Amino acid sequence: MGNDSGELDLHDYLDSVEEFCTAIESRTVSVDDSSTSTQIGTYFETELRDWFEEKHGLVSEGSVAEDIDLPAFNLDVKTTSNRQPQSSDTFEDPGERITGVDYNIPLFVYDKESVGGGNRFDIETCAYVPKERASDYRKSEDAVKLVADYREGGLSESELREQLEDLTGVGAVSDEKFEEIKQDPPAKGAIIVTPCSGGPTTTRWSRKRSPRGPNASTAQ
């Protein structure tokens, strides 16, 4: 079943995703494809695209250019080690730390073991983070309180904007995002976001959560 945007719902394919995880765990992956976090991320992205094409006929042609790994689901695959969580550039607008991003995120949390000739993966968690919850859980919660204060007359519009921008910790929120937050306060996020000093906003992926839907779990 899809939604109003035409995206397929990954919830309708959870059994297939579970089978994919089992298949990945059964393989020995060459060192050339699984030594660095970037290589591992690329491996999972490629294998998941191939899996959905083979099992369900969902071709993801042109997805790499769009930075979306499975366009049919509007998914951008993320991977992280259970022992050493990775970070990645995720947000184009600082306001997305509060509102979430424009794509859904399947997050594979793995342990890697070196074996003869390559590496094997034990997938600890496959978490699904819907786009409306792909935001910082503390920042999104604080933003809701600020908007409520603004609506009750406790903050002017300029004060609201200033405090929302302080909340992101990384810079000015676009006019579009500001209006979005003001008119429609976000759902509570399910990830942890850490700004790099002097660099882009990054996401530090939480490794203890396994959200399977918009209301299934929250980050700690």
**CATH code reported for the domain at 10-90+102-133:** 3.40.210
Share of the chain above pLDDT 90, in %: 49
For residue 13, pLDDT over 80 is answered with: yes
144 vs 217, residue with greater confidence: 144
Report pLDDT digits (tens) over 39-72.
999 999 999 999 999 999 987 754 444 578 889 9
Q: Which residue has the tokens 């250019």?
A: 65
pTM of the model: 0.76
Q: What are phi and psi of 63, to 5 degrees?
A: -70, -30
Report pLDDT digits (tens) over 169-186.
877 899 999 999 999 988
Q: Helix 175-183 vs helix 137-151: angle between axes, to the nearest 10 degrees?
A: 70
Which pLDDT score is estimated for 117?
A: 84
Which pLDDT score is estimated for 177?
A: 92
